[in-house]
Amino acid sequence: MATGRTHRPATRSRGIPEATVARLPLYLRALTALSERSVPTVSSEELAAAAGVNSAKLRKDFSYLGSYGTRGVGYDVEYLVYQISRELGLTQDWPVVIVGIGNLGAALANYGGFASRGFRVAALIDADPAMAGKPVAGIPVRHSDDLEKIIEDNGVSIGVIATPAGAAQPVCDRLVAAGVTSILNFAPTVLSVPDGVDVRKVDLSIELQILAFHEQRKAGEEAAAASDGAAPVAASRDAASADKGPDGDVPAVMPA
Amino acid sequence: MATGRTHRPATRSRGIPEATVARLPLYLRALTALSERSVPTVSSEELAAAAGVNSAKLRKDFSYLGSYGTRGVGYDVEYLVYQISRELGLTQDWPVVIVGIGNLGAALANYGGFASRGFRVAALIDADPAMAGKPVAGIPVRHSDDLEKIIEDNGVSIGVIATPAGAAQPVCDRLVAAGVTSILNFAPTVLSVPDGVDVRKVDLSIELQILAFHEQRKAGEEAAAASDGAAPVAASRDAASADKGPDGDVPAVMPA
DNA sequence: ATGTCTTTGTGAACGCGTGCACAAAGATGG
DNA sequence: CCATCTTTGTGCACGCGTTCACAAAGACAT
């Protein structure tokens, strides 16, 4: 049990590095698990292992929040859960709208982790009139004509876009015009937004392509040194395609 | 934005920086759009705008691949599409398995962008016997008993985990043991894998929490304009959170 | 009280990624 | 062939993030 604390209100709490912010939810998840197991305190080493990061990094991350640990003991789990929750803004309620109730949108609406931590699905919105009124995850779908009104009535500041690529930018513009200032974009498009609006994107296709790159590299390393210079452009494809066979998909354009 | 993770010290991917690799799919998408509009060449400035990045960054990224541009003109679109595709390993076919066919898994299976670029859903796998044989996105679901056999028969090296959190690590272990070396994890858990296996994670909850942090910060800055003047910068955070109104689930541990 | 032992918090060094700014390369026109 | 103009490719400097390593802080035993 943690004892006497001389915690000052963290004089430098402004300016938490972005990389640290991105890890706070990870720590919070690990801490919540510990809390449910009624673990009173945890060391940076243990918590770091649970969160899958380096312990020095974790300690430095926490140092941006303040001095919340006790030397020789570790961190009080409950206290830290609260501090991180507060820092992330999870002690308040965030109404969220999901726009585009297709396969993905429906899956997101059903996602349990949504409501678990301060986020509340205020409305599901779709452009298809046939969807209107139909309940998804227990919430009736609203037509996109009502988008602005829904945003305003519920004080929504976070929007999730799960529309097809072509509809994403128009939807985004409407969301922003209606007052949304944070957007989570699942559509495979680059959104352009005015200053002051945050956009984060989740892109399955990009993630897979990054994995494919590393996968190819691994395969190429095993298959000995297939020297692949930059100059011999034409037939450098033999590198790692042993079982490839013909593919008629290669662009014929090959400038000299 | 999805956050990539788990990189061992040796991240020298033939000299291409990780940050560059992560942007290549973005360039590829923009280039494909240009290609479909039969645009023959594009300048770094134009392409950068389309991809939502800085033009200097784009040129530096391309410089890691080689000298594929023509000064005074720009880049040949078709040629660049091919070069990037090859670099990312998209000129070959990547069989992929999706494990966990719930709401999310089904949505992923239906996702069009999957097959569009070298990725082929080799199998859908679920632990629920009632799901077995049932077609999802035109593909019959297989039971997880057959996981190892499916991996081996199809030469799968990329696995997608869309199971509940509790099942993710065991599934991951089985995938890795069966030969999978790249994993895309949608379950809200930190996966531990042996060296040589790449893991990328996509976590809706984390993305929302990051947005919430920035959202709270924006709200706090507006309120700071009408500040009382007692504690202008640092301690205003405590005051700001105190005015968040009643929220019932604050941990009791609240040291003064 | 004093010493020992554990663990935090952080100064400092290092490496990666970004953006600037410009010389070199090549196209284009006369 | 020469001059001019456009755009690439990159050297360089800077800032952020990571990691190391250790002094300081506190718990705990004697």
What's the Å distance between residue A60 CA and nucleotide D21 C1'? 14
Given this model, what pLDDT does residue A7 score? 35
Phi, psi for A211 (deg, rounded to 5): -60, -40
Of the two residues A135 and A1, the one the predictor is more confident about is A135
Percent of chain A at pLDDT exceeding 90: 76
pLDDT band of residue A95 (cuts 50, 70, 90) is very high
The domain limits of chain B are: 3-87, 94-205
Question: Among A21-30, A112-121, A196-205, A217-226, where is mean pLDDT lowest?
Answer: A217-226
d(CA A162, CA A188): 9
**Strands B139-143 and B119-126, sheet pairing:** parallel
Given this model, what pLDDT does residue A223 score? 62
CB contact under 8 A, A184 and B3: no
Given this model, what pLDDT does residue B250 score? 35
d(CA B63, CA B68): 8
CB contact under 8 A, A209 and B26: no
d(CA A81, CA A163): 34
Query: Per-residue pLDDT for B195 more than 80?
Result: yes
Given this model, what pLDDT does residue B105 score? 97
CB contact under 8 A, B209 and A107: no
Domain A94-204 matching CATH 2.60.290.11: the answer reads no
| Strand D nucleotides with an atom less than 7 Å from a protein beta carbon | 5-11, 16-21, 24-28
Question: Which residue type, as a one-letter code, is found at position A22?
Answer: A
B68 touches strand D (CB under 7 A): yes
Given this model, what pLDDT does residue A8 score? 34
Query: Per-residue pLDDT for A254 more than 80?
Result: no
Give the architecture (CATH level 2) of B94-205: 3-Layer(aba) Sandwich (3.40)
| Strand C nucleotides with an atom less than 7 Å from a protein beta carbon | 5-11, 16-21, 24-28
Nearest residue to D10 (CA, C1')? Answer: B60
Helix axes A77-88, B204-225, angle to 10 degrees: 70
d(CA B204, CA A200): 10
Of the two residues B113 and A4, the one the predictor is more confident about is B113
Given this model, what pLDDT does residue A117 score? 79
DSSP strand E in A66-171: where? 69-70, 74-76, 94-99, 119-126, 135-136, 139-143, 158-161
Q: What is the pLDDT of residues A68-85, one digit of tens each?
A: 999 999 999 999 999 999
Element (H, E) at B171: helix B165-178
Given this model, what pLDDT does residue A76 score? 98
d(CA B163, CA B189): 10
Nearest CA among B201, B151, B217, B247 for reference residue A82: B247
Of the two residues A245 and A110, the one the predictor is more confident about is A110
Given this model, what pLDDT does residue B235 score? 34
Percent of chain B at pLDDT exceeding 90: 76
Say which CATH class A18-88 falls into.
Answer: mainly alpha
Given this model, what pLDDT does residue A113 score? 78
A54 touches strand D (CB under 7 A): yes
The number of helix segments (H) and strand segments (E) in chain B equals 9, 11
Confirm if A104 and A164 have CB atoms less than 8 A apart.
Answer: no
Given this model, what pLDDT does residue A230 score? 37
User: CB neighbours of B116 closer than 8 A, spacing ≥ 6?
Assistant: A205
Q: What is the pLDDT of residues B119-173, one digit of tens each?
A: 999 999 999 999 999 999 999 999 999 999 999 999 999 999 999 999 999 999 9
pLDDT band of residue B225 (cuts 50, 70, 90) is low
Q: Is B13 exposed, middle or buried (0-12, 13-18, 19+ CB in 10 A)?
A: middle
Q: How many residues does chain B have?
A: 256
- Assess whether the region B3-87 and the region B94-205 belong to the same CATH fold: no
For residues A169-178, average pLDDT: 98
**DSSP label at A247?**
-
Question: Among A10-19, B57-66, B203-212, B235-244, where is mean pLDDT lowest?
Answer: B235-244
Residue whose tokens read 């788990």: B6
Q: Which residue of A has its CA nearest to B19?
A: A210
pLDDT band of residue A5 (cuts 50, 70, 90) is very low
Query: Per-residue pLDDT for B7 more than 60?
Result: no
Q: What is the pLDDT of residues A132-172, one digit of tens each?
A: 999 999 999 999 999 999 999 999 999 999 999 999 999 99
Mean pLDDT, chain B, rounded, equals 85
Percent of chain B at pLDDT exceeding 70: 80
Query: Per-residue pLDDT for A237 more than 80?
Result: no
Query: Per-residue pLDDT for B198 more than 70?
Result: yes
Of the two residues B162 and A239, the one the predictor is more confident about is B162
For residues A41-69, average pLDDT: 97
d(CA B46, CA B43): 5
For residues A87-97, average pLDDT: 96
DSSP secondary structure string for all residues of B43-105: -HHHHHHHHTS-HHHHHHHHHHH---EETTTEEEHHHHHHHHHHHHTTTS-EEEEEE--SHHH
What's the Å distance between residue B46 CA and nucleotide C13 C1'? 39
Percent composition of chain A: helix, strand, coil (DSSP 3-state, to 5): 45, 15, 40
For residues A200-222, average pLDDT: 93
Contacts of A247 in chain B (CB under 8 A): 91
Mean pLDDT, chain A, rounded, equals 85
Q: State the greatest distance between any 2 C-alpha atoms of chain A, in Å, as a whole number.
A: 74
CB contact under 8 A, A81 and B251: yes
Q: What is the pLDDT of residues B70-107, one digit of tens each?
A: 999 999 999 999 999 999 999 999 999 999 999 999 99
Alpha-helical (H) ranges within A37-123 are 44-51, 55-65, 77-88, 103-110
User: CB neighbours of A230 closer than 8 A, spacing ≥ 6?
Assistant: B65, B66, B67
Query: Per-residue pLDDT for B236 more than 50?
Result: no
d(CA B171, CA B183): 11
Given this model, what pLDDT does residue A14 score? 63
Nearest CA among A155, A179, A91 for reference residue B213: A91
Q: What is the pLDDT of residues A20-46, one digit of tens each?
A: 999 999 999 999 999 999 999 999 999
CATH of segment(s) B3-87? 1.10.10.10
CB contact under 8 A, A9 and B235: yes
Given this model, what pLDDT does residue A251 score? 37
* Start-to-end Cα distance in chain A: 72
Confirm if B95 and B64 have CB atoms less than 8 A apart.
Answer: no
Other CB atoms closer than 10 Å to residue B160's CB: what's the count? 30
Other CB atoms closer than 10 Å to residue A2's CB: what's the count? 19
d(CA A172, CA A62): 35
What's the Å distance between residue B72 CA and nucleotide C24 C1'? 11
Confirm if A186 and A202 have CB atoms less than 8 A apart.
Answer: yes
pLDDT band of residue B226 (cuts 50, 70, 90) is low
Confirm if B250 and A91 have CB atoms less than 8 A apart.
Answer: yes
Query: Per-residue pLDDT for A224 more than 60?
Result: no
For residues B106-110, average pLDDT: 96
- List Cα–Cα distances, A29 to A89, B4, B104, B206, in angstroms: 15, 18, 21, 9
CB contact under 8 A, B209 and A86: no
For residues A97-114, average pLDDT: 93
pLDDT band of residue A115 (cuts 50, 70, 90) is confident
Of the candidates B52, B92, B211, the beta carbon closest to that of A182 is on: B211
